[in-house]
Every structure is written in C-alpha cells, then in structure tokens.
A and B are shown apart, each in its own frame.
Chain A
C-alpha cells in the first residue's frame, strides 16, 4: 500500500491511550479543537522505522461506534471519514487494556470490521501481570486476524514494534462473519477470544479492590475525599509562595533593569508601567495554577477522579445532577474552559446544560490573582487557631461561596429552565494506577503553556490598550492623569452603576478590561495605580497591596471579592459556552444571571460590612 500519512489511536476510555500517545509522540504535541465542536484534538508526530514522520492523533475514548455522547460522536465520524474538515486516518491503532480484554475486544471488533488498515496495541501488559494475568498475543492475533503488539507505554516497551506494525499495516477484506454482528454476538466472541488468549489467571486479590474498600467506604470515603480536597487548596497557597515570590522579585529586577538602561520617556513608562506591571502581576500566579493542575492531573491519571464522582453522586443528585457533573466542576476550579469541555461526557443533555451554566461559579485559577492580592492587602495574617490562618480561611470561604452558589443555581435551574426527568449516573471506575511522571509533566507543561500564552497575548494586549487609554489625553498641570484620561472618563460613567454596591472609580476601571479575563483586574489595578503614581516617587515604590490599602476600605475590598465570586468576567468562557450550546441563547442567559448575582452579592456584602462597622 501507499505510505501512511495519518495514524489515529482509538480505544475504550481507560485503555491507557493517552499514556501510549505521549510515549509515541513525545512532548511536542498540538492541542486544538475539532472544527465546529469543542472536542479536544490532540496530535503529535510519530516517527516510522523508515525515519519518516507521520501525524498521529489521539481520538476521544469510546465504547462503541454507536455514540452516546458528543465525544464519542467525533471518534465515530473521524474513523468513518465523515467528519467535515478532518481527513480519515490511514491506519488505526486499537488500544486494548490487557487486563480488561473481554470488555475492550467488543469495540475492537467493531473497528477491525471496518476493514481499514488496523494494528492492535495490547497495552498495560505489566499491570495485567501484576493482577496475575498471562496473555498470549499470538492467540489474539489469530483470533482478530491482524497484528497484535504488546506494549507498556510508561516503560516504552513495544513502541518500536508498534511503529513497524503501523508502517506495514494494510487494507483487509474482513470475512463476512465479522462485519454485521450485533453487540451481543460481539460480546460472546470477545469472551471466547479473551478466554483463548488468557494463558493463566490467578485469583489473587487485586490491589484496586483493596483500595476501593477504603476509598469507596460509605463513611470513610467521603471524609478522605474532603481531606484530600482541603490539602489540595492549602497546597495551592503554601507551596506556591516561594516560587511566586521569586517570580515577583524577577519582575522587579527586570523593571529596575529597564529603568537603568532606557532614559525616562513615555515609551519607558509603557514598558514598565504597562507591560511589566500588567503582565508581571499575572505571571506570578503561574506556580499556583501549576500546583492546582498537578492535583487534578494526579486524580485523573490515578483513577481516583472516577471514585470522587462516585462519592459525590448522592450529593449532586440532591440538586438534580449526577456524579458525572463533579468531574467537569472540579476541573473548573482550575479553569472553566476545560471544565465546560469536559461536560461532553455527560449523556443527558439537560444535565450537561445545567453543568455548563454553573461551571463558571467554581473558583477558577484566574480568580486566584484577584483574591490573593485583595486578601493579602486587607486580611491580617494571623492564626485563628489549629494552624489555620485567617487568610486561608477567607479564601476557603470564597471557594465555598462559589460552590454553594452553584448548587443553589443548579437546584433552581433543574426546576425551571432545564426541567426534566432526573438523570442517571453510569460510569466506569477504572483500575488504580500510579501516574507516570512523564505524563504528568506533559500535562502540566501544556496547561502552563496555555496560561503563559494567554499572558503573552490577551493580557499583554489588554494591558497595553489600557495603558494607552489611561495616558491619553495627557493631563495638564495640576490635573490628575487618571481623571482626564479616556479610561478614567469611561470608568466615571460606569461608576454610577456600581457606586450603590460600594465600588469606586478605580474598581469600575478594573472591571472593564477584566471582561477579557479576570486576572486582568489585577494587572489593570497595577497599571492604574502605577500611572497615577508617576509623579510621586513614594507612591511609586509602594507595592500594589499597599496602594490598595491606602485607597480602599475593608467593605469595598470584601464587596470586590464577592463580585468576583459570581461575575462572568471571561470572554473565553462565554465563547466556549456559545460553541458548546450551539448559539447565543445560553451564553447570554449565563451572563445575565451571573452579573445579576454578582451585583446582589457585592452590594449585600458591602452594606452588611458597613453596618457591621468593618
């Protein structure tokens, strides 16, 4: 046959596809979306034995070509070559979990029956051996009629052989017996094939059964989960501090360096007050974001995430959702965009819509910069006993406010706009696995890169535009630069609206560019106060926190925090919601209800705090 140009990995969820993909293609991967849908498209380069590189994609995990979710629909269409804008793969690599053969062989038969050039990767043979299973790949090869290569992705076993098999794969004419089997017939066949291929099987007590006895225990399980989540959120702050401090010092050093080299001018101000103050104030939160994603990736890769969904199902059912919604919602603590994309695995459309609508209420990492700056400036750093700091407690309260808000909104939505039959909860609980360091590093690198790219593009541009709006027209003698600037005037108009909830002009000013992304609020406050302080050497030397303390009262700061718990200040989230729901109806609804809640929450916080004499 002609040389293959495009290879695709396909298989059941939890077959170890992603780990195999990482091992085959290395860290240089491209993550994008399939045209028209937000299903993530991962592609990389596989080098064939001939030395020729070919494109390899990792298709979303599926149980069958008869899809039950948007994710599975993409896989089915791409394999059949029916996906508009995506050419059909030339060679398919079916990934099988060696210790779950009778299940995974059902889907494998369906793919092999298509007659395309196909190779089987018998993956995770090491874990099967750990469970006491010895498998004969030759027997499987005979039964399936195509090449079967045993692989262990994490130890790079079988990768060369797999690449050779891919290069040699050819079109087949599947026998008439294979093509039009029903699901039940395929299952019977899968059982027979698995039985023939399994040479020996010891009735050893498997590790994951023992772990489940503790982690899924009706009382201990949830307690362990909550303890884990508590540690996770504490770690985000405690572990990140030294790294964040180092980054901050680096930005300060850079600012001083620029000031030393470039003579005073408007261009220098743009560089220091605009770019460095703005982008720098956001980049320092990279460590926190990396730590948060580290925990989420570990939960996913170890198989614990599905257990968390199991444990949370009852609680989610209480507000009309299911445990499945827990995974996207937990991911939304890192960022609502992957969270909303992860809702694709929810089968029930009303469940899915509700989850999308409440996902922005989960405290995403972009809120962390805002929370961190305000908390550090206004909440005293003291202990409330038991080794728990007051600052951490306030942060925890903000997270809880988001969660409680989300649950309340879900409850209301499920009884009104997304009313429907109570949805079910069906999901596979995968085997426990030790996450591989390489896969974690690749995942972390990809998330960190997305964050830095945002800092380098959206946040950079917004900061520069804001700086320009803040600096023109130039103030005359005796006038305040911010007051006469275009941005200052826009903010003055907006402050009429936000004055009743305690916001001042600078806060209103921060809200406008923060529509692009929440963390911009911090950079724009930094830029605003840097511009305002240009003529005042003392004020200029003050850190952003001290500036805030001098200009805001505690009720104002608390109201600002309350606003950010609810406000949908993220263009990317709105865009992804539009794509996921195929129209403007739901993103507009989302913005409406979230801004409404934000306004009420900020106002209530402000006036209660004022009354309380804070």
Chain B
C-alpha cells in the first residue's frame, strides 16, 4: 500500500520510496524532515473541503505537510 491510501490515524512504517518520482529538491527536503525509508509515520490530517490534498504526516514528534503526489511514491506497511 502507498502512503496516500493510508487512512488517517493509522500508524505505518515507510518501507521504500521511489525517489525517481520526486524532484531532487523535494526529495532532499523530505529526507531532511525525516520522511525517509524506515520512518514511522501516521497520517494526522488529510485534505481541505473533502479533497485529499494536502496531507499532514506525523513523523516522530514532528508534523510535516506534503502532497498526495509525494505520498504516492512511498510504500508503507501498517504497524
């Protein structure tokens, strides 16, 4: 399952990231924010006005906002 399909409130671990689907700067920024292989994450908020974008992702004690397109490049396993 990819991260964009993870329901809100569900904890998961990122098992692989298809970095080729992301722009280089965005990939680096995501990694700098700790969104990387092996990170434990939880979708805490999703979308505005019923849409699916953007996503607020809890990574450790931090919350990171990203787009669905980024999340779709990340394979997760449910914990």
CB-based contact A424/B44 at 8 Å: no
21 contacts between A and B (CB under 8 A): A64-B28, A68-B28, A100-B60, A102-B61, A212-B45, A216-B45, A218-B47, A218-B51, A311-B48, A322-B67, A323-B54, A347-B25, A347-B29, A424-B22, A424-B67, A425-B54, A425-B65, A425-B67, A426-B29, A427-B64, A428-B33
The answer, among B26, B47, B49, B62, for a CB contact under 8 Å with A426, is B26
Docked pose: A276 CA to B13 CA in angstroms: 67
A222's nearest neighbour on chain B, judged by CB, is: B48
- The answer to whether B66 and A424 have CB atoms under 8 Å apart is yes
Which one, A103, A314, A425, contacts B61 given CB within 8 A?
Answer: A103
Interface size class on chain B is: 35 or more
* Complex contact B51–A424 (CB within 8 A): no
Q: Return A401 CB to nearest CB of chain B, in Å.
A: 24
B63 at the interface (CB under 8 A from A): yes
- Are the C-beta atoms of B49 and A222 separated by less than 8 Å? yes
Question: Given the known A-B contacts A63-B33, A323-B54, are A100 and B26 also in contact in the complex, defined by CB atoms under 8 Å?
Answer: no
Question: A317 contacts the other chain (Cβ, under 8 Å)?
Answer: yes
Contact call B44/A314, Cβ cutoff below 8 A: no
The reply to whether A100 and B62 contact each other, CB–CB distance below 8 Å, is yes
Q: How many A-B contacts are there with CB distance less than 8 Å? A: 115
Q: Determine the chain B residues whose CB is within 8 A of the CB of A427 once the complex forms.
A: 64-65
Kindly list 12 other residue pairs between chains A and B, CB separation below 8 angstroms, not including A64-B32, A183-B31. Answer: A183-B32, A218-B46, A218-B49, A219-B49, A219-B50, A314-B47, A424-B69, A425-B54, A426-B65, A426-B70, A427-B64, A429-B64
Min CB distance A308 to B, Å, is 11
Is B4 in contact with chain A by the CB < 8 A criterion? no
Query: When the two chains form the complex, which single residue of B22, B32, B69 contacts A63, counting CB atoms closer than 8 Å?
Result: B32
Interface check A209, CB cutoff 8 A: yes
B65 touches A323 (CB 8 A): yes
Q: Are B34 and A313 in contact (CB under 8 A)?
A: no
Across the interface, do B36 and A99 meet the contact criterion of CB distance under 8 Å? no
In the complex, what distance in Å separates the CA atom of A183 from the CA atom of B36?
10
Q: A187–B28 contact, CB under 8 A?
A: no
State whether B48 touches A429 (Cβ < 8 A). Answer: no
Check A310/B47 contact, CB under 8 A, given A426-B30, A427-B64, A428-B63.
no
Return B8 CB to nearest CB of chain A, in Å: 10
> When chains A and B are docked, how far (Å) is the Cα of A323 from the Cα of B48?
12
Contact B23 A421 (CB under 8 A): yes
Tell me if A161 is interfacial: C-beta within 8 Å of chain B: no
- Mark each residue of chain A from 414 to 442: 1 if its CB lies under 8 Å from any CB of chain B, else 0: 00000001001111110000000000000
Q: Determine whether A546 belongs to the interface, using a CB cutoff of 8 Å to chain B.
A: no
A residues 121-143 in Cβ contact with B at 8 Å? 131
Residue of B nearest to A128 (CB): B61
Residues of B within 8 A of A68 (CB): 25, 28-29, 32
Query: Is A202 on the interface with B (CB-CB < 8 A)?
Result: no
Min CB distance A91 to B, Å, is: 25
Known: A348-B25, A426-B33, A428-B62. A221 touches B53 (CB 8 A): no
Residues in A278-313 with C-beta less than 8 Å from chain B: 306, 309-311, 313
Interface residues of A in 292-349 (CB under 8 A from B): 306, 309-311, 313-314, 317, 322-323, 347-348
Q: Of B34, B50, B66, which one neighbours A187 at CB under 8 angstroms?
A: B34
Is the CB of A184 closer than 8 A to any CB of chain B? yes
Is A86 part of the contact surface with B, judged by Cβ < 8 Å? no
Q: Taking the nearest CB of chain A, how far is it from the CB of B23, in angstroms?
A: 7
Known: A212-B44, A222-B48, A424-B70. A103 touches B62 (CB 8 A): yes
What B residues does A99 contact at CB under 8 A?
A: 61
Which B residues lie within 8 Å of A184 (CB)? 36-37
Contact indicator per residue, chain A 166-202, by CB within 8 Å of chain B (1) or not (0) = 0000000000000000011001000000000000000
Q: Is B56 an interface residue (CB 8 A)?
A: yes
CB of A66 within 8 Å of the partner chain: yes
Known A68-B25, A102-B61; contact A425-B56, beta-carbon cutoff 8 A: no
Closest to A429 in B: B63
Contacts of B51 in A (CB 8 A): 218, 314
* B54 / chain A contacts, CB cutoff of 8 Å: 310, 313-314, 323, 425
8 Å CB interface, B63-79 against A: 63-67, 69-70
Q: For B61, what are the chain A residues with a Cβ–Cβ distance below 8 Å?
A: 99-100, 102-103, 131
CB distance from B59 to the nearest CB of A (A): 8
Q: Which residues of B contact A428 (CB under 8 A)?
A: 33, 62-65
When chains A and B are docked, how far (Å) is the Cα of A222 from the Cα of B47? 11
- The answer for the CA separation of A421 and B24 in the assembled complex, in Å, is 13
B45 and chain A: residue at smallest CB distance: A216
Residue interface bits B5-34, CB-to-A below 8 A is 1, else 0: 000000000000000001101101111111
Within 8 Å CB of A348, what residues of B? 23, 25
Are B56's CB and A216's CB within 8 A? yes
Contacts of A425 in B (CB 8 A): 54, 65-67
- Cross-chain contact A314 with B29 (CB below 8 angstroms): no
Name the one of B30, B34, B49, B66 contacting A103, with C-beta atoms under 8 angstroms: B34
Cα distance, A63 to B29, chains bound together (Å): 8
Q: Is the CB of A102 within 8 A of B60?
A: yes
Q: Are A429 and B26 touching (Cβ within 8 A)?
A: no
Query: A201 CB to closest chain B CB, in angstroms?
Result: 10
Q: Which residues of A contact B28 (CB under 8 A)?
A: 64, 66, 68
Taking a contact as CB atoms closer than 8 A, the residue among B36, B53, B63 that contacts A314 in the complex is: B53
B63 → chain A closest CB, angstroms: 4
List, in ascending order, chain A residues with CB within 8 A of B64's CB: 426-429
Chain A residues 547-602 with CB under 8 Å of chain B are none
Q: Give B6 Cβ to nearest chain A Cβ, in Å.
A: 17
Nearest chain B CB to A425 CB, angstrom units? 5
Known A-B contacts A103-B60, A310-B54; the reply to A429 vs B65 at CB < 8 A is yes
Given A103-B62, A347-B26, the answer on whether A314 and B49 have CB atoms closer than 8 Å is yes
A209 contact set on B, CB distance < 8 A? 44
Q: Are A218 and B60 in contact (CB under 8 A)?
A: no
Cα–Cα, bound, A131→B62 (Å): 13
A99 and B32 CA atoms in complex are apart in Å by: 17
Best-buried of A131, A212, A426 by chain B (most CB within 10 Å): A426
Query: What separation, in Å, do the CA atoms of A167 and B28 have in the docked complex?
Result: 35
